[in-house]
Amino acid sequence: MGKTNYIQYVSVLKAIESGKNICGLILPDETSATITCSRKTILHVATIAGHVEIVKYLADLMEEKELEMPDIGGHTALCAAASNGITEMARFMVRKNSALLSIEDKCGTPLIAASAKGHIDMARYLFSRLSLEDIKKISLDRGARLLSHCIVAKIFDIALKLPVARFAFAPNDAGISSVYVLSQMPTAFPSGNRLVFWQQWIYSCIRVPSVSENRAINIDRQNLTDRGNIIQVNGPDGDFPLRSC
């Protein structure tokens, strides 16, 4: 397989940079061509340049699978759109191929990229296109990152729709939990409304035992230890310490 001759696409690159119409510069079978040494497609370049109409034109022409093509860094064009925060571009791509939502690069999914950059509208749009099953499939490490990014960007509506009980105490890529991140953000609580987010957060993390589980709790008197008013209680989920009165 011969090397791609990128020189032939110089006129296309210049047209994209200036925002000009490129419909007469490429053939229908060239819409998925890689035109840079970093293996970016025409769609990648137009997306990064921020030209909405060119992106729409290309997304309409390209096949679903062509939209999934990554550059040399593993980034799809949707990841690029998520990073620059132009929601309209993402809509063109996702309407054509919703599988793009779950394709990850080294930084994660497009949703993680958008929340990391603080692009609230983009993050909300991408999240709105996820199904309940998609949300349930988010891995622990990805979920921890997404939750902490949403907290930092104050996208609390998304944060509260995530499986908080799973992700809240898991370390993100910086090695800290979302609970710690939230604790460092006093500005997240406007005056007069200080407990609202905390209350929802706490309630979503609490696991209330069922009646059968409550009945199953058995205090093994032989194993009770009184160490400085601390007793050990044996429950169905393992031993846990309680402070006696």
Same domain, 41 and 141: no
Which is nearest to 208 in space by CA: 169, 147, 165, 157?
165
170 assigned to some structural domain:
yes
pTM for the model stands at 0.75
Q: Quick check: 104 and 68 in contact, CB under 8 A?
A: no
Range of the domain at 143: 137-207
Q: Quick check: 115 and 146 in contact, CB under 8 A?
A: yes
Same domain, 96 and 194: no
229 assigned to some structural domain:
yes
244 pLDDT tier (thresholds 50, 70, 90): very low
Same domain, 112 and 19: yes
| 51-66 residue pLDDT tens | 999 999 999 999 999 9
Instruction: Report the Cα–Cα distance between both ends of the chain, in Å, rounded.
Output: 78
> What's the pLDDT at 15?
85
> What's the pLDDT at 188?
60
101 assigned to some structural domain:
yes
The total of other beta-carbon atoms located within 10 Å of residue 19's CB is 14
Same domain, 42 and 88: yes
124 assigned to some structural domain:
yes
H or E segment at 233?
strand 230-235
Same domain, 5 and 81: yes
Angle at 84 between CA 112 and CA 78, to 5 degrees: 60
| 22-49 residue pLDDT tens | 877 777 778 888 888 899 999 999 999 9
161 assigned to some structural domain:
yes
Angle at 11 between CA 6 and CA 12, to 5 degrees: 80
Higher pLDDT, 53 or 220: 53
212 assigned to some structural domain:
no
Q: Quick check: 74 and 111 in contact, CB under 8 A?
A: no
Cα–Cα distance for residue pair 37/26, rounded to 1 Å: 18
**Amino acid at the residue 53:** E
Higher pLDDT, 202 or 50: 50
